[in-house]
Amino acid sequence: MSTYLVDFFLLLFLFILVVLLIIYAYFQYSYCYWKSKGVPYLKPKFPLGNNELVGFEAYSYGIENVRWYQEFKKIGAKFGGAWSWATPVLLLTDPEYYKDVLVKDFRYFINRDFYHNPKFDPKNENLFVAVNEDWRQLRHKLSPIFTSAKMKMMYELVLKCSEPMMDRLRKHAKNNNAVDIREVVASFSTDVIGCVAFGLECKSFASEEAVFRKMGKEIFRSTPKSKLFLVLSRLCSDTAQKLGVNNIPEVVTQFFTEIITETIQYRQKNGIKIQDFLDLLIGLYESKENNFSFNDLIGNVILFFIAGFDTSSATMSCTLFELAKQPTIQNKVRDEIYSVLKKHQGKLTYDAFQEMTYLRQCIDETLRMYPPVQNLARFCEKPYKFKNSNLILDKGITVLISTVAVGRDPEYYPNPDLFDPERFNSANKAARNPFVYLPFGEGPRHCIGKRFGIMQSSIALINILKNYKISISPNSTRSITLKKGVFLFQSNETVYLNLEKVQ
């Protein structure tokens, strides 16, 4: 080997060594942050900080911070510091601080710390990722789409979407086949959101390869490329933005853009008016004073798809799982369904579903135990003094509230792993601090689709429980464990239910 080549490799080696040393020094410097602030903290490990999973999935917005929460509560701390890789994050454990951050002092915490790329991916700028004044205006424009009156308007469309699901269940019951309940309700959710947001009949039950269902899976599919994008966006979001890293795979955005464009053209050409989300969004787009662009329309339809389908299917499948384990509670829900339907001449109307208060208690209890969005995150926009403490939080630090940890905290919910809908009867609810129940978030940035999520979940549950007694199949898991490293709820196990026709 020539001496030039030896010199080159030596220099390259030295260069890589220096870069690695700089990175290591940067991490170590960052790991001093919480000590310098006088905040109790968990000891971080290079390079993951306090994330538990090894590898690209390591993430602080999943259930890993349930352990952080428990550690801080053990020492009586109302908040505590941890690190996601090299980034310091503050986890809150006191409901009074939840209220301050989410509601009272919202102006300091208006944004989520969620990666997005407005320049390279303008079609995925949506309400969830929008910041500051853009978010405020967008929320103002979209709020009228989610009122009770609009839900009532869409109710019949959603009800109709439950028919293919019931056909599928009928076949399973007839053949005595155990049902993968998560798959069934996910197909129902896809049909619902496809119908009300895209104006399409998705036919998710018609074939295993129904294209909308495929796209739903594609969004969260983990590939080497998506993992690389993920890690880049988490470690150096500025560079990721410049490199054009997107949140959502391009193939998904393109698919949805084409479908929405075709549907809009078809509706305009044929003068079709259907009272659904898409129609309301087209209304916003067409009215000049709203400043609601075509990209805004696309971005928010895609968001409704993502935000609506996984959250609602988790709610439905977990409720059914818990009810299958507890026949007494299940019978009580069924009795309520029958008695309310009788009052409404057997018709499942919008008013009838709203009268089913015990069913609603069951849904609330499910969301306590299995909140589909496992963390609320807020980005500190300007230095903020936490009351009754010495902590002045710096701009740029993310504050986390673990919806899972608070829902399973025995201080607020004795025997927290027990499914008990009575926790949500009106007396018990009134006796509890409302900020220890946060499955839909709170404050000006709470879930805009709450009513819709509850409505579609209730419709599916009522139809299933009205017709079938459900039990856990002998081959199924009897307990669900939560997957680590994911932002939205996923269970590690598959639940299979047996169905027995109600006579």
Contact positions vs ligand HEM (CB under 6 A): 127-128, 139, 303-304, 307-308, 311-312, 315, 367, 372-373, 376, 439-442, 445-449, 452-453
For 72, 84, 91, the CA distances from 67, given in Å and listed in that order, are 9, 14, 11
- Which residues are known binding-site members for heme? 447
Q: How far apart, in whole angstroms, are the C-alpha atoms of residue 93 and residue 435?
A: 11
Minimum Å distance from CB 323 to ligand HEM? 16
Q: How far apart, in whole angstroms, are the C-alpha atoms of residue 130 and residue 143?
A: 15
Minimum Å distance from CB 427 to ligand HEM? 24
> In this complex, which beta carbon is closest to ligand HEM, that of residue 185 or of residue 495?
185
Q: How far apart, in whole angstroms, are the C-alpha atoms of residue 6 and residue 496?
A: 63
> In this complex, which beta carbon is closest to ligand HEM, that of residue 373 or of residue 499?
373
Minimum Å distance from CB 366 to ligand HEM? 9
Minimum Å distance from CB 174 to ligand HEM? 30
> In this complex, which beta carbon is closest to ligand HEM, that of residue 203 or of residue 451?
451
> In this complex, which beta carbon is closest to ligand HEM, that of residue 241 or of residue 315?
315
Residues 495/180, Cβ–Cβ less than 8 Å: yes
For the chain, the farthest-separated pair of C-alpha atoms sits apart, in whole angstroms, at: 93
- Which residues are known binding-site members? 447
Q: Which amino acid is at 441?
A: G
Minimum Å distance from CB 135 to ligand HEM? 6
> In this complex, which beta carbon is closest to ligand HEM, that of residue 447 or of residue 470?
447
What the block records as the tokens of 476 is 């199924």
For 276, 457, 478, the CA distances from 189, given in Å and listed in that order, are 15, 9, 24
> In this complex, which beta carbon is closest to ligand HEM, that of residue 58 or of residue 301?
301
Residues 126/300, Cβ–Cβ less than 8 Å: yes
DSSP state of 434: G
* Residue burial 297-321, b: 16+ Cβ < 10 Å; e: rest: bbbbbbbbbbbbbbbbbbbbbbbbb
The label of the residue with tokens 């009867």 reads 425
> In this complex, which beta carbon is closest to ligand HEM, that of residue 27 or of residue 435?
435
Minimum Å distance from CB 83 to ligand HEM? 22
Residues 219/486, Cβ–Cβ less than 8 Å: no
Residue 244 has phi, psi (to 5 degrees) of 80, 25
Chain-centroid distance, C-alpha 206: 27
Minimum Å distance from CB 242 to ligand HEM? 25
Q: How far apart, in whole angstroms, are the C-alpha atoms of residue 424 and residue 39?
A: 35
Minimum Å distance from CB 196 to ligand HEM? 8
> In this complex, which beta carbon is closest to ligand HEM, that of residue 316 or of residue 333?
316
Residues 384/108, Cβ–Cβ less than 8 Å: yes
What DSSP element (H or E) covers 191? helix 181-198
